[in-house]
């Protein structure tokens, strides 16, 4: 099931604008009170001191979650780049296998397969901030403990995977099967990350590994490899689409945190500048800023939870 995309900035802005208009209409209907009983600091008015504390806490929370989002963005962008690189390798492999009789030197074809295997190894052993991307939750362990070009997969093992879809990752993968998650707001957690035993990765590794046995005099071999590489390309594209959806979701979360942070900063500055106002006005200003900020946070929470309903 695919969730409908909602313009979160539109919904968010509309919610805040409506709230501000409602409050303004209410304020205009209130009578102006006397300019007496003024206060020089918020400590003299306990209610507004608590309001300021809540606004300050919102600022700190937004700042904390923004740091989480920034770290997660770096990791997710690195994963996205690695998938793009693996798609390029898949295209290279398909073009090479499609050359048929143009490969007069089978040794050269086999050597080309080893070169592609080395590229795959580099992509799967990629890191971000010193942590491996494709080893599940074992961030300090390489997904591959040695280059794929140094692993001599037997023809039988490769055939069993290509024709029977038998698990192939046990011959190369050193990580676990657990998916990472990150808390990006009080109520939203994102599952992210891709393990090195992902089906699309197995397909590509098996396809390229079979290059060392590829013989164009055996038509079924060539047909099997080309079909598997086509499937690999489709699966990698779908894998990347799902990952990029999560990246876009994270970008929206980050934008909303930035909005709340900026509004909290603006609210604190406004309240600080209004020291000395009459009690009613000060209460009014403090209530308004806290009310608008709370509405922003509630809007953000509802929109964020709405986005998680779809399967991608």
d(CA 2, CA 270): 43
Q: Write a three-state SS string for 242-289.
A: HHHHHHHHHHHHHHHHHHHHHHHHHHHHHHHHCCCCEHHHHHHHHHHH
Q: What is the pLDDT of residue 125?
A: 97
Q: What is the pLDDT of residue 91?
A: 96
Mean per-residue pLDDT over the chain, rounded: 77
121: confidence class by pLDDT, cuts 50, 70, 90? very high
What are the b/e assignments for 8-33, b being 16+ CB within 10 Å? beeebeebbeebeeebeeeeeeeeee
Q: What is the pLDDT of residue 102?
A: 57
pLDDT one-digit tens code per residue, 16-45: 555 455 444 444 433 333 343 444 444 444
Which residues fall within 8 angstroms of residue 4, CB to CB, at 6 or more apart?
A: 310
Domains along the chain? Answer: 45-307 (1.20.1330.10)
Residue 282 or 177, more confident = 177
Answer yes or no: are the C-beta atoms of 73 and 254 closer than 8 Å. Answer: yes
Helix-, strand-, coil-residue percentages of the chain, each rounded to 5: 70, 5, 25
Least confident interval from 132-136, 156-160, 278-282 = 278-282
pLDDT one-digit tens code per residue, 191-233: 889 999 999 999 999 999 988 887 767 778 888 889 999 999 9
Tokens matching residue 179: 């998916």
Least confident interval from 13-22, 138-147, 233-242, 245-254 = 13-22
- Range ranked top by mean pLDDT from 28-37, 78-87, 146-155: 78-87
Least confident interval from 138-152, 225-239, 253-267 = 253-267
Region 260-275 average pLDDT:
71
Answer yes or no: are the C-beta atoms of 184 and 136 closer than 8 Å. Answer: no
Q: What is the pLDDT of residue 28?
A: 43
Is the pLDDT reported for residue 126 higher than 90?
yes
Is the pLDDT reported for residue 292 higher than 70?
no
Residue 113 or 282, more confident = 113
State the CB neighbour count (10 A cutoff) for residue 107.
9
Least confident interval from 67-76, 133-142, 185-194, 200-209 = 185-194
């Amino acid at each position: 099931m695919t969730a409908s995309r909602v313009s979160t900035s539109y919904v968010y802005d509309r919610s805040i604008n409506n709230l501000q208009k409602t409050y303004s209409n209410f304020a205009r209907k209130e009578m102006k009170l006397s300019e007496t009983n003024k206060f020089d600091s918020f400590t003299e008015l306990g209610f507004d001191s608590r309001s300021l504390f809540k606004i300050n806490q919102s600022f700190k929370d937004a700042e904390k979650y923004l740091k989480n989002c920034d770290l997660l963005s770096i990791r997710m962008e690195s994963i996205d780049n690695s998938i793009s690189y693996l798609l390029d390798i898949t295209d290279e492999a398909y073009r090479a296998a499609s050359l048929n009789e143009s490969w007069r030197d089978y040794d050269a074809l086999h050597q080309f397969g080893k070169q592609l295997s080395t590229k795959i190894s580099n992509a799967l052993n990629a890191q971000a901030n010193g942590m491996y991307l494709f080893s599940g939750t074992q961030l300090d362990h390489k997904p591959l403990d040695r280059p794929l070009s140094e692993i001599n997969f037997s023809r039988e093992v490769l055939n069993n995977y290509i024709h029977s879809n038998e698990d192939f990752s046990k011959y190369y993968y050193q990580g676990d099967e657990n998916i990472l998650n990150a808390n990006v707001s009080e109520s939203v957690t994102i599952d992210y990350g891709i393990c090195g035993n992902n089906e699309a990765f197995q397909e590509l590794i098996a396809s390229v590994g079979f290059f060392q046995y590829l013989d164009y005099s055996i038509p079924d071999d060539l047909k099997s490899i080309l079909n598997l590489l086509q499937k690999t390309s489709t699966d990698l594209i779908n894998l990347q689409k799902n990952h990029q959806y999560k990246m876009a979701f994270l970008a929206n979360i980050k934008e909303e945190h930035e909005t709340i942070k900026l509004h909290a900063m603006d609210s604190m500055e406004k309240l600080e500048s209004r020291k000395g106002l009459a009690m009613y006005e000060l209460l009014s200003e403090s209530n308004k800023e806290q009310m608008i900020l709370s509405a922003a946070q509630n809007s953000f929470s509802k929109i964020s939870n709405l986005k998680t309903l779809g399967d991608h």
